[in-house]
Structure 1
Amino acid sequence: MSKIGYARVSTEAQSLEVQVEKLRDAGCSKIFTDVASGSNTKRKGYLALMDYLRSGDKLIITRIDRIARSVLDLQNLVLTLRENGIQLSAIEQPISTDSASGKAFLDMLAVFAEFELNIRKERQLEGITAAKAAGKYKGRKPLSDDIKEKVSSLYNNHNSVTFIASKLNISRNSVYKILKTHNNIN
């Protein structure tokens, strides 16, 4: 049985070092990492981890909120792991999918992790609403007409959305919005 670790932080300002060190101390032979939101299930490290795990492996995390942020995501993960003969264990929480009590505790922690995430989102929206009312929050500065024209021109010259976003230093989402507004795409 191989012990495989997974560590995640949400932003570049946070450090993975503490989690990685704990996973090494727990005997993990390989550790996958991500710097991304927990609600994003398309994380590169997470996808590589899921591809790497084999029957008989034990997936070790420091806390459940490092791998899943919603009850549904966690339950789907646990089901997938169980179907493939893989155990899940958390270092800082007394959970393991190899016992009924460990599974029950895992489910309870997932509920609280999702609750915490939802409360944080509510507070953030309240703060934005208050800032808007005070005239301090105006949102992102709109993209210039010059950028919009460049997006259309590059797209019409058969460049990919990823290339356009990278070349103009804007997000892919902004490229899609511009193209949709200019009726280049549906």
Structure 2
Amino acid sequence: MKIGYIRVSTISQNIDRQVDALSQCGCEKIFIDKCTGTKANRPQLEKLFEQLRKNDIVIVTELSRFGRSTKDLINLVEQVESQGAQFISLKEDIDTTSAMGKFFFTIVCAFSQLQRDIIVQNTKEGLKAARARGRKGGRPKVDSKALDNAVKLYKTKTLSIKEIENVTGISKSSLYKYLNQKEVQSE
């Protein structure tokens, strides 16, 4: 049986592309996790391994959707193979049923890890350079007095959201986020 696995980092990310690709290659079951790849706890991946049988084929659209690091990818594929199943990654055209496929898989994993490490390194260097110039990272803090004023104006229903933004300097998203938090707390 062909079994697909999908992972997206956030609930709001669209899975249609991955579902379509796995369906087109004949996957009878598809397991979907909606969590960051850095989390080890992926309940649907665990279910996949519970249901995996000899001669099944686990298919992913790309390696980055399956594992968090080179070591993690290798361990996951070894787990697939230890259960008598095979592994295929569509984007990288990897099929671990052959010696060459296994070799290519290891090389691609190493390059993926290198790319990830370079991105992290560049981000850290960029933040360090910005701090050296007096800039602080992260989102700017919302002025609580301006936010209270924005809420009062919102409740009067006399100004549009755009006008409230202009008067208070509080963005629409910050205002709605605050209102939604207050609504949840009052429930």
TM-score, length of structure 2 as denominator length: 0.68
Report how many residues are paired: 141
Distance across 2 between alignment mates of 1:15 and 1:124? 26
Report the CA distance shift for 1:132/1:45 in structure 2 as closer, same or farther (over 3 A). Answer: farther
1:136-147 to 2 correspondences below 5 Å: 136-137=135-136
Distance across 2 between alignment mates of 1:52 and 1:99? 24
Tell me how large the CA RMSD over aligned residues is. Answer: 2.1
Matching residue of 2:71: 72
Report the CA distance shift for 1:62/1:138 in structure 2 as closer, same or farther (over 3 A). Answer: closer
Matching residue of 2:134: 135
For residue 29 of structure 1, report the CA deviation from its aligned partner.
Answer: 0.8
Matching residue of 2:178: none
For residue 30 of structure 1, report the CA deviation from its aligned partner.
Answer: 0.9
Contact 1:34-1:44 at 8 Å conserved across structures: yes
1:6 and 2:5 matched = yes
Matching residue of 1:88: 87
Contact 2:62-2:90 at 8 Å conserved across structures: yes
Contact 2:127-2:137 at 8 Å conserved across structures: no
Distance across 1 between alignment mates of 2:26 and 2:40? 26
For residue 52 of structure 1, report the CA deviation from its aligned partner.
Answer: 2.2
Counterpart AA for 2:49: M
Distance across 1 between alignment mates of 2:68 and 2:113? 6
Matching residue of 2:159: none
TM-score, length of structure 1 as denominator length: 0.68
Counterpart AA for 1:93: E
For residue 111 of structure 1, report the CA deviation from its aligned partner.
Answer: 0.4
Distance across 2 between alignment mates of 1:131 and 1:53? 49
For residue 124 of structure 1, report the CA deviation from its aligned partner.
Answer: 1.7
Distance across 2 between alignment mates of 1:50 and 1:121? 31
Partner SS for 2:58: strand
1:1-186 to 2 correspondences below 5 Å: 2-137=1-136
Q: Find the structure with the greater CA-based Rg.
A: 2
Contact 1:69-1:110 at 8 Å conserved across structures: no
Partner SS for 1:105: helix
Contact 1:69-1:113 at 8 Å conserved across structures: no
For residue 42 of structure 1, report the CA deviation from its aligned partner.
Answer: 1.3
Partner SS for 1:98: coil
Counterpart AA for 2:62: R
